[in-house]
Structure 1
Amino acid sequence: SDPRMIKGARKLEAIDVESMLELAAAGAKILHIRAVEFARRHNVDLRVRSTFSTDPGTIVYSGKAGAGMEESVVSGVAVDKGQTKIMVIGIPDVPGKAADLFTIVADAGANIDMIVQNTPTGSDVVDAVSDIGFTLPKSDVKKVVAALQENQAKLGFRVVEVDDEIGKLSVVGAGMRTHSGVSATLFSALAKAGINIEMISTSEIRISVITSDDQVEDAARAVHTAFGLDSEIEAVVYAGTGR
């Protein structure tokens, strides 16, 4: 977790490469995602440490270094404020429309992160329409919106709405594979903190939610505490986001 945001963030002695890869992809800003991908591909363990202290840092294990180590249910919490949500409103609910939509997005050169489709509405099957929402990097928004508007007649949607005031919160841990109750703890913590959830996405070892950007840091602190990740020692940032 980012100690600049969460004062109780604690340094991990070790973390598995799969969890580190998910954290990097979720915006943790600890290691570049390509560095973690290469380490996993070539079964290389990484040691991450600060050049400003003698602390041994954290080992990211890919192979033998992690043998016999217990997997943390939740290893860390990551926040990403660099995304925008696009909602395509009133698109016909017929086979092939989602494929057409995301082909246009792909041809525009954008990478999609999270996707949600609302329940279709309409008087009958012929008239049924739905709303499809997705998130993507802020840098890709203009070209994607332009591409969608150029193809509005083909897709048949009513309007495109853009919301760039969002934040993504992710909790990651290899132990999610074998432990129940992670989702319940996450959503209970968010509810107690008064955080509204707009979108949800999951993988085998990650749960991500979209909230408003003015709530996402409060959400991260609440979730960090709920999973027992707080340290009694306040984190010291020497440079960047590390201790």
Structure 2
Amino acid sequence: MRIVVQKFGGSSIADPELIRNVARRVVRAKQKGNRVVVVVSAMGDTTDELIDLAYRVTASPHSREIDMLLTTGEQISIALLAMAINELGHEAVSLTGYQAGITTDHAHMQARIVNIDPERVRQELDQDKIVVVAGFQGMTVTGEIATLGRGGSDTTAVALAASLKADLCEIYTDVDGVYTADPRIIPKAVKLNYISYDEMLELASLGALVLQPRAVEFAKNYSVPLLIRSSFNECEGTLVGEVASVESCHPVSGVAHDLNVAKIGIFDVPDRPGIARNIFRTLAREQINVDMIIQGWVRDDRNDIVFTVTRGDLEKALPVVERIVKEIEASGFVYNDRVAKVSIVGAGMITNPGVAANMFKALAEQGINIEMISTSEIKVSCIIEEDQAIKAVGALHAEFFK
């Protein structure tokens, strides 16, 4: 009998009627002969409301207590959904992340799954139950509750699917699947029937909000087939899997944009071995994630280094950068938090010369200046002014999806 893991986000279970709708969908999957595991997020805006509540109590809540607080949102969801499924005549059992065997590291609010022992889940499935698991959470080896960061329920679902060797992991959300661009700003965006793990990973990390990047990484590493579907209709959705044939791929599969970007530049960095290591190791020790990095041309044994971080990390990064500048005897630094990243992604870029040139042409024709460029085999990203982002996405979509 097939094992299917289904994940439903907060918008899919935002009120009692939506919870009942999800229960009916889960039961239909069971009636098709599947063994079903369901992973759910907190209802609607519950997580945001709990965070707001914490900061109304204290200006600096401890991360451990934040995790203790936030995990209650998913526990409400799993209990209510299990009740709704039981009401339909099918036995269901709700499990917290810990009860489902999910072990994490100790990084509160940004924990990573280090192991899953799915024995309890298997036992419940063997008793013909539908298993409802709290997403976004696990427990450390020392018994502390930890959360997986925003979008962590996606990672929970895919990791469970991998550990159970599930036949399919369905991610239900408020969109019909993966589109060639955000359909909210590009009405002509087209839903993709299929996309490769690598393409989906790039799109997710570049600002497409359909899936969390760590979830896609899990799926790729363990070959978990993913199906992205809407919880509000019966559309087929988008299947995420291995790339079938690079030769037959359209050069570009999607256009993404990310407004959660800030740029930092360090001037007159001494050009000697180990300097870049020192800069970025220091930032890493402060848990600051760096994305794009550009090193300028050497002049008088010095160069400039520019890199990007998330806007959320900028405040934490600036004092670190100020300290670095003094330590390496650079001349100074600047930052800009009014930039955006626009990207094109496609496995077909490998065999189609000129894709980057066409991207730059499309931006130039709109008078959009490029401040930074980063490339890989299947993506090209540009940093531009924030207020040009939407226009840039429209121009790129028009260029590559005529």
Q: TM-score, normalised by structure 1?
A: 0.86
Which of 185, 199, 216 is residue 19 of structure 1 equivalent to? Answer: 199
CA distance in 1, matches of 2:207, 2:337: 16
Q: What secondary structure sits across from 1:90 in the alignment?
A: strand
Which residues of structure 1 form unaligned runs of 5+?
123-127, 230-243
Any conservation in 1 of the 2:362–2:399 contact (CA below 8 Å)?
yes
CA distance in 2, matches of 1:68, 1:202: 18
Superposition pairs of residues 50-129 of structure 1, within 5 angstroms: 50-62=230-242, 66=244, 70-122=248-300, 128-129=301-302
Number of corresponding residues: 222
| Residue 150 of structure 2: aligned partner | none
Any conservation in 2 of the 1:44–1:62 contact (CA below 8 Å)?
no
RMSD across aligned positions (CA): 1.7
Worse-matched range after superposition: 105-114 or 204-213: 105-114
Q: What secondary structure sits across from 1:164 in the alignment?
A: strand
Structure that is richer in helix per residue: 2
Counterpart amino acid of residue 121 in structure 1: R
**Between Structure 1 and Structure 2, whose CA radius of gyration is higher?**
2
Q: 1:151 to 1:14 in 2, by over 3 A?
A: closer
Residue 47 of structure 1: how far off its partner (Å): 1.2
Superposition pairs of residues 137-152 of structure 1, within 5 angstroms: 137-152=310-325
Which structure has more relative contact order (CA 8 Å, sep 6+)? It is 1
| Residue 357 of structure 2: aligned partner | 184
Residue 78 of structure 1: how far off its partner (Å): 0.4
Q: TM-score, normalised by structure 2?
A: 0.53
Deviation digits for residues 131-163 of structure 1, max 9, x if unmatched?
Answer: 110001112112221112223332111112110
Deviation digits for residues 66-95 of structure 1, max 9, x if unmatched?
Answer: 479932210000000101000011222223
Which residues of structure 2 form unaligned runs of 5+?
1-180
| Residue 212 of structure 1: aligned partner | 385
CA distance in 2, matches of 1:131, 1:3: 38
Deviation digits for residues 197-236 of structure 1, max 9, x if unmatched?
Answer: 000001110110100000111111101110026xxxxxxx
Q: What secondary structure sits across from 2:340 in the alignment?
A: strand
CA distance in 2, matches of 1:78, 1:182: 15
Deviation digits for residues 109-134 of structure 1, max 9, x if unmatched?
Answer: 11111011222333xxxxx3221100
Q: 1:100 to 1:11 in 2, by over 3 A?
A: same
Counterpart amino acid of residue 219 in structure 1: A
CA distance in 2, matches of 1:224, 1:207: 14
Q: Percent identity?
A: 41
Any conservation in 1 of the 2:207–2:256 contact (CA below 8 Å)?
yes
Q: Does 1:160 align with 2:333?
A: yes
Q: What secondary structure sits across from 2:327 in the alignment?
A: helix
